[in-house]
Amino acid sequence: MIGITLNGEPRRVAAGSIAALVEALGLPLAKVAVERNLEIVPRSTLGDVLLAEGDQLEIVHFVGGG
Amino acid sequence: MNADRWTVAGRTFTSRLIVGTGKYKDFAENAAAVAASGAEIVTVAVRRVNVSDPSAPMLTDFIDPAKITYLPNTAGCFTADDAIRTLRLAREAGGWDLVKLEVLGEARTLYPDMRETLRATEILAKEGFLPMVYCVDDPIAAKQLEEAGAVAIMPLGAPIGSGLGIQNRVTIRLIVEGAKVPVLVDAGVGTASDAAVAMELGCDGVLMNTAIAEAKDPVRMARAMKLAVEAGRDAYLAGRMGTRKYADPSSPLAGLI
């Protein structure tokens, strides 16, 4: 397990790829976007990018808005 | 008359009404209002997913992005950097480069910060985005945005969520006359007549959220807005009569008994 910040909250997660984390969280990979340490992680590489201790992760999606 | 379409950044649409997806009671009502409005584009916001409740319903389950164009916005962003960061995420989430930029100056009025808006427009255009830009109703600012790469100019009619209607018809008309890209009134519409006024001024479209979402019957108001936008557009194309200072009878004076 490693410590990261996920959507502003500290969290212990299994080491592995971002795609594995998104799936473990039960989120549909096709409907979210991920930013790691202020850089966009292209969806095509989510399965390749490995999480590192201290990573700042933002996982976002579309919600209602004007 | 059915051939009246408009084009923004190479994409052509029939409906001139863009509706927001905020403030609705639930997703089902929101989807029903979008259907009644006839809108082909909806604005959406980008927010953190709820990682503690991944099974919560999502907007995309109710309004299909394959059928309705999602226009990601930057509502809530007060700096160019925040807005750009948000839209980079939006592009990754949806794969769309047509976006709505708004950079706000203060919470009380939600007036745009035009210095930051202009800076963000330039950067977004360089990064390949197609920004439709919320702005003040200032014809000079509108020109500057267009030069910076805005694909549509979206001046406020009145403050966001105020429902006060179009406060300055002169500035909206001047923007329409000067623009080479589509002009859409964004913000301030309260009821159907406001939408008709925007269209009668020659705008290419109208964007609204609260006027529909906060109506007592949002679905019926959505339909009213659809009809108002169509009526206003037709009135603009038809060319209104001139005004006179005094009366002019409609019945012939000749043959009066």
- Most confident segment among A41-45, A59-63, B62-66, B147-151: B147-151
Q: How confident is the model at residue A66, as a pLDDT?
A: 83
In angstroms, the separation between the Cα of residue A15 and the nearest Cα of chain B is 18
Q: What ipTM was predicted for this assembly? A: 0.93
CB B198 within 8 A of CB B18: no
Tokens at residue B72, please? Answer: 């990601």
Q: What is the pLDDT of residues B184-217, one digit of tens each?
A: 999 999 999 999 999 999 999 999 999 999 999 9
Angle between helices B218-238 and B27-37 (to 10 degrees): 20
| pTM, two decimal places | 0.92
Do B89 and A60 make contact, defined as CB atoms within 8 angstroms?
Answer: yes
Given the structure tokens 């996920």, which residue do they identify?
Answer: A6
Among B140, B95, B102, which Cα is nearest to B121's?
B102
End-to-end CA separation in angstroms for chain B: 42
What per-residue confidence (pLDDT) applies to B144?
98
> How do residues A39-59 score in pLDDT, each as one tens digit?
999 999 999 999 999 999 999
Portion 25-44 of B in contact with A at CB < 8 A: 27, 30, 43-44
Q: B174-187, pLDDT tens digit by residue?
A: 999 999 999 999 99
Q: Which of B25, B100, B143, B245 is catalytic?
A: B100
A-chain CB neighbours of B72 within 8 Å are 62
3-state helix, strand, coil in chain A (%, to 5): 20, 40, 40
